[in-house]
Amino acid sequence: MSIKNFLPDQYDATSELEINHNYLKDQFSDYQDILQKVGRVVERGDFTLGRAVEEFEHRYAGIIGTKHAIGVGSGTDALFLSLKALGVGSGDEVITTPFTFFATVGAIVTAGATPVFVDVRADYNIDTSKIEAAITNKTKVILPVHWSGKPCEMRQIEEIAEKYDVQIVEDACHAIAASIDGKGAGSFGAFGCFSMHPLKNLNVWGDGGIACTNSDELADKLRLMRNHGLVGRDHCHMFAYNSRLDTIQAVIADHLLDKIGDITRSRIENAKMLDESLGGLDQVTVQNRDLGCIKQVYHIYSLCFEKRDELQKYLINNGVDAKIHYPIPMHLQPAAKKYGHQVGDFPIAEEIANTTLSLPVHEFIGEKHIEKMASLIKGFYG
Ligand SMILES: *Cc1c(COP(=O)(O)O)cnc(C)c1O
C-alpha cells in the first residue's frame, strides 16, 4: 500500500462545477485583511498559544455558552483529548453512532476504548430510545454526533447518562451555533468538541479544533494535556501531548467569528428553500423540520433520494457538486472488521448511507442556485 496526499486532487476534481460545495476562495476574498492580522503575530513572534488563542477561546466559549473553550490541533484531537481527560482507556466502551465521520470513531479507538454503535433515526442522529440497551458496566461515555448541525436529544441523553453514571462528550463538529431551547450544542456534555477544518462552518487555513466545557477541573486538565502537561516552563504536571491551536489559525478563526451569525442564517434559509421546493416529490424524503425549539445549522444539507447514484451523476453532469456524506457507515468499514459487524446490524444507518445525497447550501449559494438544483432534480424524476 502506498498512501498519498490525496486531498488536492479531491478538490480539483469538482472545482469546475458551477454550484460547488467548496467556496473557500469566496469566503476568504478578504484575505488581505487577515494577512495583516497574521502579520502582527509574526511581528510579535507569538506563534504558540499566543494572545490570539486566548482571545478567540474566550469569544468562542461565549458563543457556545460554556465557561471554557480550549483550542487544540483539530476536531479529532478535541474528541480524543476530551475522552482522555475523562479517563477513557483500554477496556472502556464508548457509545456512538455508525453514521458519522471517521474521526468520531478514530478518537474513541485511539483513546484505547471500544466503539459501541447504536443505530440512528431517519434524521441521521442517534436513536435515543436504543441507547440504554447498549449500556454495559464498561460504558464510560456516550458520544452523540449532532449530524449536519442538528442537535441530538440532549435532555433525554443527559437523563440516561445520569441514570447510569456515565459521561457525555458531544461531537459538535457540524454544530457551531446550533441549539436546543437557546442552549448551545456543545454545552450539554462534559465536553463539546468542534472542528475548524476548512470545510466546516467556521474554518481556518489548515487544521484547528476546540473543546468546550463548564468544568474548571476538566478545562485545566485539557489545557495541560494539549501542552505537554506543563504548568510552567520547567514543571510538568502530567506527561501528555502537544495539540495546540496555532496562533495563526486562531487569528483566522477569530476573524470569521464575526460572520458566523450571517453564515448560519444563510445556510438555514437555503435549506428551507430546498425543503420547500423538493418536499412535494415522492422520490425524495425531506425530514420533518418542525423542530420546535431546536435550531439546526446545516453544516451538511442532505436528503434521501430514490435512484441516488444516478441522480448524483446527473447533477454533477449539470454543474452541481452533489456529494455523498457518507456512502459506507462505520461498522462496515474495513477498519471495523475486528468488531464483527455485518450488513443489517444498523439498518437505518445503512439505508441512509445508500440513499443520502448532499447539496451545497453555504452562504455563497443564492436563490438562483437553489432554483437550478430544484428544477434539475424535478426534471430528473420527470
Ligand atoms: C470534521 C469532523 C470531525 C473531525 O474534525 P477534524 O478537525 O477534521 O479533525 C469529527 N467529527 C465529525 C462529525 C466531523 O465532521
Grid cell 462496515 is found at 332
Same domain membership, residue 299 and residue 237? no
What pLDDT is stored for residue 287 in this prediction? 87
Distance CA 333, CA 341 (A): 10
pLDDT at residue number 146: 98
Q: Which among 161, 148, 140 is positioned nearest to 100, based on CA atoms?
A: 148
Q: Are residues 244 and 332 in the same domain?
A: no
Whether residues 205 and 310 fall in one domain? no
Same domain as 81, residue 61: yes
Are 94 and 120 contained in the same domain?
yes
Confidence at residue 349, expressed as pLDDT on a 0 to 100 scale: 98
**pLDDT of res. 159:** 98
CA 327 to chain centroid: 17
281: exposed, middle or buried (Cβ count in 10 Å: 0-12, 13-18, 19+) = middle
Pairwise CA distance, residues 148 & 359, whole Å: 12
- Judgement on whether residues 218 and 356 belong to the same structural domain of the protein: no
- Given a contact cutoff of 8 angstroms between Cβ atoms, the answer to whether 195 and 188 are in contact is no
Examine the domain organization and report whether 148 and 233 are in the same domain: yes
d(CA 80, CA 57): 19
What local confidence, expressed as pLDDT, does residue 278 receive? 96
In a domain, 1, yes or no: no
Last-in-domain residue among 257, 278, 297:
257
Tell which atom from ligand 1 comes closest to the C-alpha of 207. Answer: 7
List pLDDT tens digits, range 84-126.
999 999 999 999 999 999 999 999 999 999 999 999 999 999 9
Q: Which domain holds residue 132?
A: 31-257
Return the CATH number at 366.
3.90.1150.10
Would residue 2 count as lying in a domain? no
* Together in a domain, 96 and 130: yes
**With contact defined as beta carbons under 8 Å apart, do 82 and 223 qualify?**
no
Widest Cα–Cα separation across the chain: 70
Whether residues 143 and 159 share a domain: the answer is yes
Give the residue, out of 72, 195, 201, with the most ligand 1 atoms within 8 A of its beta carbon, to mutate for a pocket test.
Answer: 195
Q: Show the ligand 1 pocket: residues with CB < 6 angstroms.
A: 74-76, 100-101, 103-104, 145, 171, 173-174, 195, 197, 207, 209
Instruction: Say how many Å lie between the CA of residue 197 and the centre of ligand 1.
Output: 7
Q: What pLDDT score was predicted for residue 47?
A: 93
72 bridge partner residues: 209
pTM > 0.85: yes or no: yes
CB contact at 8 A, 108 and 96: yes
Residue stretches of the chain with pLDDT short of 70? 6-13
Torsion sign over Cα 108, 303, 289, 260: positive
Ligand 1 atom nearest to CA at 196:
7
CA distance linking residue 118 with residue 223, whole number of Å:
31
* Structure confidence at residue 15 (pLDDT): 78
Domain count, the chain: 2
One-letter amino acid for residue 355 of the chain: T
Identify whether residues 196 and 213 lie together within a single domain: yes
Domain shared by 52 and 161, yes or no: yes
